[in-house]
Amino acid sequence: MAPKILKDGTVLSFDTSTQSIKVLRRASILIVDDRIAAIEENSDDLPAPPGDVEIVDVAGKIISPGFVNTHVHVWESVYRSMGPNTTLPQYMGWAGHMGQLVPVAFTADDIYISSLQGYIEGLNAGVTSVVEHAHNNWSRAVMEEGYRAAVDSGARVWWCYDVMEREGFSAHEQWDAYGQLVRDKSALVSSGLSLDGLGWGILNGDGKAVDFIRGKKAELDIQALTVHHCGGPWPQGNTSPTRICADNNLYEADLPIIFSHSPFLTDSDKEMLREHKVFISITPESECHYGIGQETGHEISDQASLGIDTNWTFSGDIIGQARLWLQLTRLRQYTKTLHTGLLPNANPMAVEQAFLLATRQGGRALRRDDIGVITVGAKADLVVFNGDSPSMLGWSDPIAAVILHANAGDIEHVLVDGEWKKKDFKLVSLPMDWKDLRTRFLESSRRIQPQFAVPPPLPEKFWGTGRFGDVESVSTIYER
């Protein structure tokens, strides 16, 4: 792979001394193999290597680190637009991995093409790193094809498999299958585990969980742990930061731990997150859409990152999540002041903080100082925005231009590990021709979606304990 130079762009570099973005105007980046080898504000000072060098003029454009998505289920992509008004309990008993129709509706090939499209949707929107909560766990074939899609996608993926007892595919069989999958190492896909299915069996406060995870870490080269956690009025499991850290000492396994959603953190939970440097993944659209809620995420921003969750119900780009979370947080903090009868005298959250949540914080969640940042030595996972697009034209503040104005259509180039994934607004290096991928995806979607046409009724209680309450609806129709 020939070295590359991105020449004369506005670079959103990361200053490690201030833990903030340092804007470099008219700067150039040298990429050698998979790393950023040099950054110079004066292009004439850039030490170009001998031999062939690919030089790309990015004058007037904005160079951002790749965005990091710390929570998603890409295998569900074929459901797209199917559940515009669903709540979380409806989803769980209907289209989620435990729904009775799912094992019947999905073939292994469906899982592959649906997952592949989900990763590519992210790449098109500048999402270069993904934590996949892989709960496609009802047969060996669907497990294997989900993993193969991650490898083939060209994205940087932490594939966190959710081991749980399933009819016809026991936990023992799943461990064996996962071991065989990860035996063939991939440069971009790291093995991980979800604690959801494991939690009931090992997170009992008896001291055995950390030894179990250490064993799996050694056996499978586990690089990350992830788990869903809600709390508050949602039925409780063993998944809170307090339960996992204070009661089970799982942090001693020395692995990144990411708690997805975490909308009702207790003071003890927040203490555990900070003390043991583990993170939550806020998924703003999902938490709004499904009624999950998000009461405490803004209070733990120092240990938070951003995710997408179910990309079939809403946008699959992290820019949109960052923008929504920024404005939700501003609204929450403003409202506190307004309720006192006084007017806000300052903006409570800067745009830069939303940008860092979408980039640097994702890298921190994974304990990777070379992900989500533009620094010398960091991975060459980069996104180039076209500053002359109709939505960005006239920008002066590049961070504001990205977070408040940009969309996936403004992304001209994407690199992962120094290789082009999108160039000149077109996806490249796909494992198959886009037309073929599109055809296969639509065939799966058109066959699967009708099978889920009618969501089942809600149970009397969610998971046997969660009680339902009335929700006041909103309409544009005036009723006298």
- 259-290 pLDDT, tens per residue? 999 999 999 999 999 999 999 999 999 999 99
Would you state the pLDDT for residue 117? Answer: 98
CA gap 210, 203 in Å, rounded: 9
**Distances in whole angstroms, Cα of residue 120 to Cα of each of 130, 155, 308, 341, 437:** 11, 8, 14, 48, 10
> For 54-75, what is the mean pLDDT?
97
Q: What sign has the CA pseudo-torsion 214, 98, 307, 409?
A: positive
Q: Which run of H or of E encompasses 420?
A: strand 419-423
How many other C-beta atoms can be found within 10 angstroms of the C-beta atom of residue 213? 23
> For 344-348, what is the mean pLDDT?
98
The partner residues of 129 in beta bridges, in order of sequence, read: 68, 156
Residue 251 has pLDDT above 90, yes or no: yes
Domains observed in the chain? 4-65+372-423 (2.30.40.10), 68-365 (3.20.20.140)
Would you state the pLDDT for residue 238? Answer: 85
Q: Which run of H or of E encompasses 130?
A: strand 127-134
The partner residues of 282 in beta bridges, in order of sequence, read: 306
CA gap 200, 242 in Å, rounded: 15
Would you state the pLDDT for residue 49? Answer: 84
Phi, psi torsion values for 9, nearest 5 degrees:
-100, 175
Question: With 0-12 CB in 10 A as exposed, 13-18 as middle and 19+ as buried, what is 128?
Answer: buried
> For 327-346, what is the mean pLDDT?
98
Q: pLDDT of 111-150, one tens digit each?
A: 999 999 999 999 999 999 999 999 999 999 999 999 999 9
The partner residues of 156 in beta bridges, in order of sequence, read: 129
Residue 322 has pLDDT above 90, yes or no: yes
Would you state the pLDDT for residue 143? Answer: 98
Q: Say which residue the tokens 């296969």 belong to.
A: 440
Query: Is the pTM of the predicted complex or chain greater than 0.75?
Result: yes
Q: Cα-Cα-Cα-Cα dihedral of 192, 194, 197, 200, to 10°?
A: 110
CA gap 445, 220 in Å, rounded: 33
Confidence band for 43, pLDDT divided at 50, 70 and 90: confident
Residue 48 has pLDDT above 80, yes or no: no
CB 61 within 8 A of CB 48: no
Residue 42 has pLDDT above 90, yes or no: no
CA gap 115, 144 in Å, rounded: 12
Would you state the pLDDT for residue 185? Answer: 83
Structure tokens at 440: 């296969």
> For 54-77, what is the mean pLDDT?
97
CA gap 189, 193 in Å, rounded: 13
- Average pLDDT over all residues of the chain: 96
Query: DSSP character for 431?
Result: S
How many other C-beta atoms can be found within 10 angstroms of the C-beta atom of residue 236? 15
